[in-house]
């Protein structure tokens, strides 16, 4: 059985651009949680999607948004990128099953 | 507000010794607490969960204790190996929809 998958592995953007990150949960799981982990810092909760709806969001500005598709995969969009958005973005389909992450670098 | 504290300094130990990592939390009462391992640039890997009514949990060379009076969990790795070198995260959880993580402690095991 495939685990939680994320794409791309690495993403390089410039300031002001938009980034789109993708996540597919474990088969049968309906929730996707997104976290941001800046270098040297802990995981910060970003967004929670379940059954296609945004259920909760962390303390992040509105330019962080996303959606969940009918197959429960999810996209995280970050608009108007800033240098401090450079981080490892992780998604999880439960509290114990994380994906490998997408490393976003903003130049 | 809820706060989780883990040793911010890296822990350096010799192979074969026992590594002990500390997790302290304040301003909430978790129903359970989880420990994870995270390698550089990778997602966390779940290791152990201990519930509030459990004092101790073991899995192979790992042992976790949970003291709800002290608001503290200790994570032990016995007979440590260089392959145990990683960052270890704790996550005291109230059972809500999201998991709140500590910043982690970096462990280096020298051969």
For chain A, give the percent of residues with pLDDT over 90: 87
Q: Is B10 on the interface with A (CB under 8 A)?
A: no
Q: Report the distance separating Cα A58 and Cα B96, nearest Å.
A: 14
Q: Report the distance separating Cα B48 and Cα B37, nearest Å.
A: 10
Instruction: Answer yes or no: do B98 and A97 touch at CB < 8 A.
Output: no
Q: Report the distance separating Cα B83 and Cα A53, nearest Å.
A: 40
**pLDDT at site A1:** 62
**pLDDT at site B100:** 86
Instruction: Answer yes or no: do B41 and A101 touch at CB < 8 A.
Output: yes
Q: Which of residues 30-69 of B touch A (CB under 8 A)?
A: 34, 41-46, 49
Q: Report the distance separating Cα A42 and Cα A100, nearest Å.
A: 16
Q: Calculate the alpha carbon distances from B12 to A42, B62, B107, B109 in Å.
A: 20, 17, 6, 6
Order of strands, sheet of A74-78, starting from the edge strand that comes earlier in the sequence: A5-7, A19-24, A74-78, A64-68
Give tens-digit pLDDT for A13-52: 999 999 999 999 999 899 999 999 998 788 999 999 999 9
* A87 strand-pairing partners: A104
Chain A residues with CB inside 8 Å of B89's CB? 42-43
Neighbours of B83 (CB within 10 A): 8
pLDDT band at B69 (very low <50, low <70, confident <90, very high): very high
A38 in Cβ contact with A83 (< 8 Å): no
Give tens-digit pLDDT for A47-95: 999 999 999 999 999 999 999 999 999 999 999 999 999 999 999 998 7
Half-sphere exposure of B78 (CA within 13 A, CB side): 7
Instruction: Answer yes or no: do A97 and B46 touch at CB < 8 A.
Output: yes
Alpha helices in B1-111 (DSSP H): none
Cα separation of the two ends of chain A = 37
Does B25 score more than 70 pLDDT? yes
Q: Report the distance separating Cα A7 and Cα A100, nearest Å.
A: 9
- For residue B62, give the nearest of B39, B84, B90, B33 by alpha carbon: B84
Q: Which of residues 46-75 of A touch B (CB under 8 A)?
A: 48, 55-56, 58
Instruction: Answer yes or no: do B41 and A33 touch at CB < 8 A.
Output: no
Q: Counting every residue, how long is chain B?
A: 111
| Residue in this structure with the two tokens 């994870």, named with its chain if needed | B36
Does B99 score more than 90 pLDDT? no
- For residue A4, give the nearest of A104, A76, A96, A97 by alpha carbon: A97
Q: Which residue of B has its CA nearest to A87?
A: B41
Give tens-digit pLDDT for B49-68: 999 999 899 999 999 999 99
B82 in Cβ contact with B64 (< 8 Å): no
Give the nearest partner residue to A98 out of B41, B44, B100, using CB atoms: B44
Q: Which of residues 86-105 of A touch B (CB under 8 A)?
A: 88, 90, 92, 95-101, 103
């Amino acid at each position: 059985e495939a685990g939680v998958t994320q794409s791309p592995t690495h993403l390089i953007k410039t300031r002001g651009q938009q980034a789109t990150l993708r996540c597919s949960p474990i088969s049968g799981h309906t929730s996707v949680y997104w976290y941001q982990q800046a270098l040297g810092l802990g995981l910060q909760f970003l967004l929670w999607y379940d059954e296609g709806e945004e259920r909760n969001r962390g303390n992040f500005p509105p330019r962080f948004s996303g959606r969940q598709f009918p197959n429960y995969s999810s996209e995280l969009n970050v608009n108007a990128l800033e240098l401090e958005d450079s981080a490892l973005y992780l998604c999880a389909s439960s509290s114990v099953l994380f994906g490998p992450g997408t490393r976003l670098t903003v130049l | 507000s809820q706060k989780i504290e883990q040793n911010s300094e890296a822990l350096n130990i010799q192979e074969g010794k026992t590594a002990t990592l500390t997790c302290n939390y304040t301003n909430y009462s978790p129903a359970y607490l989880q420990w994870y391992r995270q390698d550089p640039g990778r997602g966390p890997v779940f290791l152990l969960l201990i519930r509030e009514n459990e004092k101790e949990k073991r899995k192979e060379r790992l042992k976790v204790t949970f003291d709800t009076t002290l608001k503290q969990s200790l994570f032990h790795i016995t007979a440590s190996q260089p392959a145990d070198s990683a960052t270890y995260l704790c996550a005291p959880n109230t059972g809500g929809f999201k998991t709140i993580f500590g910043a982690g402690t970096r462990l280096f095991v020298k051969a």
